[in-house]
């Protein structure tokens, strides 16, 4: 019988899983890259990205914290500026410039960053490859990626390339110094709240403008529609005699007919960055951070579903970032306490 709690849980579970699974794939791929490729890429150094203020050169904790906060503010300022530029281009109907910008960003990721990642994988597994073969492979991979994102392709292929972009960018961002990374994540979580929920927030204005024009949001957005359609839609006997809609509860019917969940690519990237940075501290740390991020996602999606009439969009970063950072600090503190206890116990023996 339709409309039962089991049916409601099944449909709602499919909607959640359709977005949680790609996030898990992204995070695990970033962690694998940090574990096996970053030692080859960083070559023993803590960071290969030079920022405005040198965090590594600071001796005291206060100086290091100050440098990392200033670096994070500079990066967030650049992100805010780029967001307003995108908003201005969209409002001025400069779609050609906007999509050319996005296409250039995607192409640079597929051709340059993917080349670096594949080259390190071949070096890790000692797979011989010549320059011509690598060039042909990356050329085909990049062209298909750009066409799948900006022209036409099967939805699952577009989803695959969006995950690839997230993994590559998140992995490269793990080269940012540690303290700057955590300050950046916390600052972005606060900015996400302001940008999406405040009346004058750039992302809120962009979403409102796209809804007013009945157009998709300009940018890289992961749409779980294809996964939901395959998982939920199936024929039923009640539909044949016209009693299907009558036997379906209003909540279940609303859930089936509502818009599939969408998640910006920036959320994928910063989820991967958080867990990737945590992976440098050990298996337990990144595992707890992964659980924290998934818990935050489920909470955010639940709130978005319950208040879908009043909230068109909800920031996906804050809950997950705050909880994930808290779990990271808790794991570090627990590891320190456990280490001191083990040392004392060993000395006693």
Alpha carbons within 13 A on the beta-carbon side of 88: 6
Three-state secondary structure call for residue 106: helix
Q: Catalytic site residue 130?
A: no
Which residue stretches of 92-177 are H helix?
95-108, 114-124, 131-150, 155-173
Vertex 275, ends 69 and 107: CA angle to 5°? 85
Tokens standing for residue 326: 């808290």
Give residue for tokens 């490859």: 129
In this structure, the number of other CB atoms found within 10 A of the CB of residue 71 comes to 23
DSSP 235: -
Q: Catalytic site residue 63?
A: no
**Ramachandran region, residue 282 (left: φ > 0; alpha: ψ -120 to 50; beta: rest):** left
Nearest to residue 318, comparing CAs of 344, 280, 285, 292? 292
Determine contact, residues 324/293, Cβ cutoff 8 Å: yes
DSSP 262: E
Surface-to-core class of residue 245, CB atoms within 10 Å of its CB (0-12 exposed, 13-18 middle, 19+ buried): exposed
Q: Which member of 63, 130, 267, 309 is catalytic?
A: 267
How far, CA to CA in Å, does 47 sit from each of 44, 123, 157, 199? Answer: 9, 20, 33, 38
Torsion angle, alpha carbons of 328, 332, 333, 339, to 10: 160
Q: Which member of 192, 208, 223, 241 is catalytic?
A: 192
- The residues annotated with a catalytic role in the active site are 192, 267
């Amino acid at each position: 019988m339709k409309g039962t709690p089991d049916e409601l849980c099944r449909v709602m579970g499919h909607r959640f899983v359709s977005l949680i699974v790609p996030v898990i794939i992204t995070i695990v791929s970033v962690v694998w890259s940090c574990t096996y490729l970053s030692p080859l890429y960083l070559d023993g150094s803590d960071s290969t990205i030079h920022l405005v203020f040198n965090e590594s050169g600071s001796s005291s904790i206060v100086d290091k914290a100050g440098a990392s906060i200033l670096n994070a503010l500079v990066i967030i300022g650049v992100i805010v500026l780029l967001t307003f530029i995108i908003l201005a281009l969209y409002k001025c109907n400069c779609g050609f410039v906007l999509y050319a910008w996005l296409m250039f960003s995607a192409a640079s990721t597929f051709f340059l960053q993917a080349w670096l990642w594949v080259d390190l994988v071949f070096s890790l597994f000692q797979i011989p490859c010549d320059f011509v073969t690598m060039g042909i492979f990356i050329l085909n991979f990049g062209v298909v990626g750009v066409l799948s994102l900006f022209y036409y392709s099967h939805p699952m292929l577009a989803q695959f390339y969006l995950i690839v972009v997230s993994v590559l960018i998140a992995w490269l961002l793990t080269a940012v110094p540690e303290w700057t990374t955590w300050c950046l994540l916390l600052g972005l979580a606060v900015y996400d709240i302001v940008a999406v929920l405040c009346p004058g927030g750039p992302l809120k204005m962009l979403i409102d403008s796209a809804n007013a024009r009945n157009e998709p949001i300009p940018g890289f957005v992961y749409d779980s529609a294809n996964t939901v359609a395959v998982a939920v839609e199936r024929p039923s006997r009640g539909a044949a005699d016209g009693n299907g809609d009558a036997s379906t509860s209003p909540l279940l019917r609303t859930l089936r007919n509502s818009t599939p969940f969408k998640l910006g690519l920036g959320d994928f990237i910063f989820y991967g960055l958080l867990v990737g940075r945590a992976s440098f501290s050990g298996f337990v740390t990144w595992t707890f951070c992964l659980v924290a991020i998934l818990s935050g996602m489920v909470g955010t999606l639940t709130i978005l579903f319950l208040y879908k009439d009043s909230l068109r969009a909800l920031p996906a970063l804050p809950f997950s970032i705050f909880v994930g950072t808290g779990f990271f600090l808790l794991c570090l503190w627990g590891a320190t306490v456990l280490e001191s206890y083990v040392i004392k116990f060993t000395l006693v023996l």
